[in-house]
Structure 1
Amino acid sequence: MTADQAWQLPPAAHRLLIAAPSLAAPEFFRTVVFLIEHDDTGTVGVIINRPSHTPVGHILPDWQDVMSDPAMVFNGGPVQRDGALGLGRLSSTADAGNGLRAVTGGLALVDLDGDVEQVSRGAQSLRVFAGHSGWGVGQLEDEIESGGWFVVAGGLDDVFSASPGTLWRSVLRRQPAPLSLLSTYPVDVGLN
């Protein structure tokens, strides 16, 4: 990290990865990834700004009414897209259990085979992701070093945002300059 990149944080659980404008891979173009785990075995996160057009109720009918808006299945990433991952914001630390497995910082993994009423009593917010994003040991650090990702502070308000489609720009906007300036970066620079 150079002195002019002092804002760049190391990857860790509860931080956000913001795709750099130069990251053109379609599965990650202009994405914001919330890191659930980052340790000596690798990194797991979910894309939090890609709601699909599929209501949660089309896949998990009992869960539709307890989901946070927008109550759509989110594209969590390219790994295991045929699997569903549920995340919840715990109402309090005492609410872990009953279908909620606390991870850290008020975040819980949701047992989507569990009792919907019990889970919804213990969680303020709920979201379902199809697939997740994952990196092997050292892989994410290499992608960050090559300029593909920016690592910034994040939180559960980002994960459960009611306006996920605007997260890429809004998360960039709240960063210090010069990173905040990227929020106005055009989708296609050739059209400027």
Structure 2
Amino acid sequence: MTLLPPEPGLLLVAAPTLLDPNFVDSVVLLLDVNEEGALGVVLNRPSALPVSEVLGAWGDVVEEPEVLFQGGPVSTDGALAVALAAPGGEGAVGFQVVTDRLGLLDLDTPAELVVGTVDRLRIFAGYAGWGIGQLQDEIERGDWYVVPALLEDVFRSDTTGLWRDVLRRQPGDLAFHATRPADPDMN
């Protein structure tokens, strides 16, 4: 099984053997990978907390469901906004490109300045982070599969089946893992 090297814009899909409660069955969008480590957000952990209750006007701009997503176990009191720039909006105020039109939006930017520059937006409380060499070690240990992302993975309204759907569309043996029971010994 050939895996991609981790890069911004790719997904980390938790292997069935990864039992860390922060990441069981998670799908992580990588936002930054460099010599100091990696950073991403968990795409399939919506909370019950409406964005409007925490970030006011941003509640009118975010994608359905209009709730905060649990981006990961690090800095859960902070928020990261992942956005899809409108065509030509990649240079908009507060927008930092991750890959193509996908990027991070600075939430200190007044929401009214964003209207028309962003097609889609999702806000995450916290993030997943890895120090120098940590993510590579976890990938080599088999904790994560590194696979291509689709825009719909990032902005999907119902994320309950995201883990299985991402695995199912992968080539070869990787697709087989989507049907694997949580505890293979019970099979």
What's the TM-score bracket when you normalise by the shorter of the two chains? Answer: over 0.9
Q: 1:170 aligns with which of 151, 161, 165?
A: 165
Aligned 1:1-192 pairs, distance under 5 A: 5-6=1-2, 8-189=3-184, 192=187
Structure 1 96/177 Cα, relative in aligned 2: closer, same or farther at 3 Å?
same
For 1:181, the aligned partner's letter is F
Structure 2 unaligned segments of length 5 or more: list them.
none
Q: How many residues align?
A: 187
Q: How far apart are residue 191 of structure 1 and its match?
A: 5.1
Give the alignment's Cα RMSD to 1 decimal: 1.5
In structure 1, C-alpha distance between the alignment counterparts of 2:117 and 2:86, rounded to whole Å: 6
CA contact (8 A) 2:11 2:146 kept: yes
Shift of 1:33: 0.4
TM-score of the pair, normalised by structure 2:
0.93
Aligned partners of 1:96 and 1:108 also within 8 Å: no
Bigger Cα displacement from structure 2, 149-158 vs 20-29: 149-158
Per-residue deviation, 1:140: 0.5
- State the distance in 2 between where 1:95 and 1:153 align: 21
The percent of aligned pairs where both chains have the same amino acid is 45
Please state how far the C-alpha of 1:190 moved relative to its aligned partner.
Answer: 5.6
CA contact (8 A) 1:126 1:160 kept: yes
Deviates more, 1:179-188 or 1:53-62: 179-188
